[in-house]
Structure 1
Amino acid sequence: MTDTATNRNEILKALSHPKRVEMLGWLKEPEAHFTDQHLPLDLGVCASQFERCGLSQSTVSAHLASLQRAGLVTTQRVGQWILYKRNEAIIGRFLDELKSAL
């Protein structure tokens, strides 16, 4: 199996859960969903911000880990926080490959 196929499979696995798809949607427009984060949203969204969306800390962590393994999100440490952002390059490449394959 090639790296591309492995990555594609990991992405499809990550996208198979509706909450993870929803989380990616929230990260697409963080200013609409995470208005009270004290750090600038252009740096990313702190995992704790997702708990207000009805998810427990452990569930948030598991979902974000799956998205990160697939390469759909990137992380950045700022002080004690780990911030998450969409990886637009990987998402765009995946969508292009999917469009071409189907």
Structure 2
Amino acid sequence: MLRTPAGRRRMDILEWLKDPVAHFPDQGPGDPVEDGVTADAIAVKLNVSREAAETHLGLLVNIGLLRTKRIGPYVHYRRDEMRIAEVARMFEKGW
């Protein structure tokens, strides 16, 4: 899933969300570290439509690497550090 060309974009998203303040402009309500970043902001950074960004984000949410939080009409995405560490340990053990 992360080794395909689309997987590179997913890896970029995960990398950017490590430090959302450095990678995304202020987006109004919500703290980018505590609450996450909107699909719109991620779409702009990826240079794709919001729908394309939501496809990548949805997959990352479904496998547990991202968490969501709704603030007003927007869904914000942030990393699930515990799940990411768990997946990393599985790969280190030769999963």
Q: TM-score, normalised by structure 1?
A: 0.80
Question: Which structure has greater helix proportion?
Answer: 1
Match of 2:23 in 1: 33
Name the count of aligned residue pairs.
Answer: 89
Aligned-residue CA RMSD in angstroms? Answer: 1.3
Cα offset, 1:51, TM superposition: 2.2
Match of 2:12 in 1: 22
Question: Which structure would you say has the larger RCO, counting Cα contacts within 8 Å and 6 or more residues apart?
Answer: 1
> Within 5 A, what are the aligned runs for 1:44-83?
44-53=36-45, 54-83=47-76
- Paired with 1:77 and 1:57, the residues of 2 have a C-alpha distance of 16
Q: Identity percentage over the alignment?
A: 31
Specify the code of the residue in structure 2 equivalent to 1:43.
D
